[in-house]
């Protein structure tokens, strides 16, 4: 509880004590009546001075019709009619509601702050053999910083000395630690768990991952959803309308009775009009709807899903089409040797020949061959290297001619080869002029890719599509294996935009299309889709900039979780809208007809606001989705 809330609680307690004492006093004479008025003004001023000040300030600034104005008019009017206890009670219960709302919003903000508690307080640099703490903003690129166990990594960089495990839960939502060693890139916001690390910074603090993420979350509230815009417009029309309704209620019925020769009962109708104002206050909507979205964004961040604004959270809830890039999204984006076929020699020996022949190349295929071999590469054993574009490599290993490449290379060398029916890149091998079998290299599917498609269907997604630059054969295999509805193969980056455009034109009007990519090569498609989702964006500036929704790790399963979070949040928003408006309208009718009095009006205002706020903060808790 902050100081402001504590002061408010003290005011509530003091005013409540006054109200209890005053309810026991029996003052009947004229001077006693003035004394009673003066005594009731004490708790009224204690409780309502800030509301009265805001109401006057709003009138001066031309912003008359808000909840402060409604409360001021209603309570002053009640006191003017001699209903001291009810006038003070309205202000007291309104402030109790405000206190509860302030506490709930504060708690929601604290929870989000804890979930996103990644801002470093300092960075350690070594000066004259001693560690000195400096402001992260003051650290220049290329500086060596020291991160001790238990400390946050303050700035992005590369590990130059030490090994450790990092807790990235605040970034990715995952509890499993990540091991790092010399040469590994490391991002700010992670917590060092074990060893001491010396890190060479590669970015300034303002450009680091932690800074970008915090900026993203802090600015999310500036992007309003259609629901929030509706409530803002509704309040602008609704509040003046109910004020006019209250004036009409105070004047028209008694005037009509006066014309008809009956007792106009001015006091009764003015009291009803004031009660009408109390019941009409729209704070339940104005407060709970933005709070619902704020809590939803906070709940998503807890799961490692960063949403750039409530408008994107709302759009995400309407997603029916999900389009995937393949490499790095559904697959790991890392090529691995997955098979060796038709080789007359030992597999280890064939891999050794392939790794040595490809040792001069930096191509991902060559790297995967060297990784599969696992031994130390002695470049002195390799001579006469010929790299034939579009075919492969010919080299001499220990004086023996080795050819590694595709079927075109085998045809070029007039060597008979065996076709492979496996899906992936096929490296045919020839050793000393004779066919030595082939090696299959594939981009391995992510473990949760298949489950992702099933979960998306459960979440209400009607169509899944895969776009890839791979061959028809590879694309068909992956799509069938994962259960993807439709795929397009052999696409250039520009072709992916065209396909998304086609899908946008053919989808149902109310359905939204989400594109999921790695955020680096797919920026044009991410920006064209209704919702752009960047996968595995930890440390990727391009992903954070290009996408509307950023998944901080490589798990595609979080896409369905993000959709479920958004739908839960929107469900809460609509519950609050229907509940608040429904209760308000019913209460206004009952007040206008004299069926209920001031106390029911207080419940309609404060009670509905409290219930709506409690419902709104449910969006923060999404662990079970």
Distance of CA 548 to the CA centre of its chain: 9
Tokens for 359, please give them.
Answer: 């040792």
Tokens for 378, please give them.
Answer: 């002695």
SS3 522: coil
Q: Are 316 and 549 in contact (CB under 8 A)?
A: yes
SS3 592: helix
Tokens for 580, please give them.
Answer: 């608040």
Neighbours of 31 (CB within 10 A): 8
What DSSP character marks residue 223?
S
Q: How far apart are CA 612 and CA 425, in angstroms?
A: 57
Q: How far apart are CA 359 and CA 375, in angstroms?
A: 12
Work out the burial of residue 119: count CB atoms within 10 Å of its CB; fewer than 13 is exposed, 13-18 middle, 19 or more buried.
middle
Least Cα distance to 326 among 462, 426, 444 occurs for 444
Q: How far apart are CA 463 and CA 507, in angstroms?
A: 10
To the query of whether residue 325 is one of the catalytic residues in this protein, the response is yes
Q: Are 141 and 204 in contact (CB under 8 A)?
A: yes
User: How far, in Å, are 1, 124, 477 from residue 616 at the CA level?
Assistant: 20, 41, 45
The residue written with tokens 């995952």 in the block is 174
What lies within 8 Å, CB to CB, of 263 at 6+ separation is 257
Work out the burial of residue 311: count CB atoms within 10 Å of its CB; fewer than 13 is exposed, 13-18 middle, 19 or more buried.
buried
Q: How far apart are CA 21 and CA 417, in angstroms?
A: 101
Task: Spell out the long-range contacts of 423-426 with Cβ–Cβ below 8 A and sequence spacing 24 or more.
Answer: 423/473, 423/474, 423/477, 423/478, 424/338, 424/339, 424/474, 425/335, 425/365
Which residues is 199 bridged to in the sheet? 145, 159
The residue written with tokens 């992670």 in the block is 190
Q: Of residues 66, 156, 325, 470, which has the active-site annotation? A: 325
Q: How far apart are CA 537 and CA 532, in angstroms?
A: 13
Say what angle helices 283-302 and 84-115 make with each other, to 10 degrees: 20
Q: Are 281 and 71 in contact (CB under 8 A)?
A: yes
Question: E-strand spans in 508-548?
Answer: 512-517, 531-534
Least Cα distance to 587 among 283, 276, 248 occurs for 276
Name the H helices within 61-147: 67-80, 84-115
Least Cα distance to 323 among 530, 157, 558, 61 occurs for 530
Q: How far apart are CA 315 and CA 309, in angstroms?
A: 10
Catalytic positions? 325
């Amino acid at each position: 509880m902050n100081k402001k809330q504590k002061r408010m609680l003290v005011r509530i307690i003091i005013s409540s004590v006054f109200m209890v004492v005053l309810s026991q006093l029996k003052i009947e004479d004229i001077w006693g009546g003035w004394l009673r008025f003066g005594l009731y003004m004490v708790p009224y001023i204690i409780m309502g001075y800030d509301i009265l000040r805001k109401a006057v300030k709003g009138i001066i600034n031309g912003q008359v019709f808000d909840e402060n104005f409604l409360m001021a008019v209603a309570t002053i009017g009640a006191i003017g009619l001699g209903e001291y206890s009810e006038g003070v009670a309205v202000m007291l219960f309104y402030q109790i509601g405000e206190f509860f709302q302030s506490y709930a919003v504060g708690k929601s903000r604290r929870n989000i702050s804890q979930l996103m508690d990644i801002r470093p307080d300092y960075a350690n640099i070594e000066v004259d053999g001693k560690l000195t703490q400096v402001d992260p903003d003051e650290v220049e690129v290329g500086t060596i910083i020291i991160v001790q166990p238990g400390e946050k990594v303050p700035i992005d960089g590369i590990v130059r000395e030490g090994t450790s495990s990092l807790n990235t839960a605040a970034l990715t939502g995952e509890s499993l630690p990540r091991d790092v060693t010399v040469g590994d890139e490391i991002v700010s916001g992670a917590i060092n768990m074990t060893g001491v690390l010396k890190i060479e910074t590669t970015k300034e603090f303002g450009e680091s991952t932690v800074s970008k993420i915090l900026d993203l979350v802090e600015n999310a509230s500036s992007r309003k959803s259609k629901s929030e815009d509706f409530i803002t417009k509704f309040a602008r029309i609704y509040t003046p309308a109910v004020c006019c309704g209250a004036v009409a209620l105070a004047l028209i019925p008694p005037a009509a009775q006066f014309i008809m020769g009956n007792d106009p009962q001015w006091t009764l109708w003015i009291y009803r009009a004031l009660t009408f104002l109390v019941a009409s206050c729209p704070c339940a909507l104005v407060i709970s709807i933005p709070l619902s979205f704020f809590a939803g964004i906070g709940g998503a961040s807890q799961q490692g899903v960063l949403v750039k604004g409530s408008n994107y959270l709302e759009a995400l809830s309407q997603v029916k089409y999900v389009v995937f890039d393949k490499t790095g999204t559904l697959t790991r984006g890392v090529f691995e040797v997955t098979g060796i076929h038709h080789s007359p020699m030992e597999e280890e020996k064939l891999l050794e020949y392939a790794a040595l022949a490809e040792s001069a190349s930096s191509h991902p295929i060559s790297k995967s061959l060297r990784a599969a071999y696992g031994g130390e590469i002695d470049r002195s054993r390799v001579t006469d290297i010929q790299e034939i574009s579009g075919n492969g490599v010919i080299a001499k290993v220990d004086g023996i001619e080795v050819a590694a490449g595709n079927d075109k290379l085998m045809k070029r060398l007039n060597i008979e080869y065996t076709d492979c029916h496996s899906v992936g890149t096929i490296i045919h091998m020839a050793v000393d002029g004779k066919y030595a079998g082939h090696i299959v290299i594939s981009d391995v599917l992510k473990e949760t890719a298949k489950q992702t498609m099933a979960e998306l269907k459960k979440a209400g997604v009607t169509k899944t599509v895969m776009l890839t630059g791979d061959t028809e054969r590879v694309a068909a295999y992956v799509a069938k294996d994962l259960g993807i509805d439709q795929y397009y193969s052999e696409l250039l980056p520009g072709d992916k935009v065209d396909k998304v455009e086609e899908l946008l034109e053919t989808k149902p009007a109310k359905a939204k299309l989400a594109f999921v990519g790695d955020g680096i090569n797919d920026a044009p498609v991410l920006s064209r889709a209704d919702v752009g989702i960047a996968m595995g964006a930890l440390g990727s500036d391009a992903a954070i900039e290009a996408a509307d929704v950023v998944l901080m790790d490589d798990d595609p399963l979080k896409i369905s979780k993000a959709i479920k979070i958004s739908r839960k949040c929107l469900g809460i928003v609509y519950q609050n809208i229907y509940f608040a408006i429904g209760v308000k309208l019913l209460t206004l009718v009952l007040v206008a007809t004299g069926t209920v009095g001031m106390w029911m009006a207080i419940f309609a205002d404060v009670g509905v606001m409290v219930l709506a706020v409690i419902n709104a903060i449910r969006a923060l808790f999404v662990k079970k989705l």
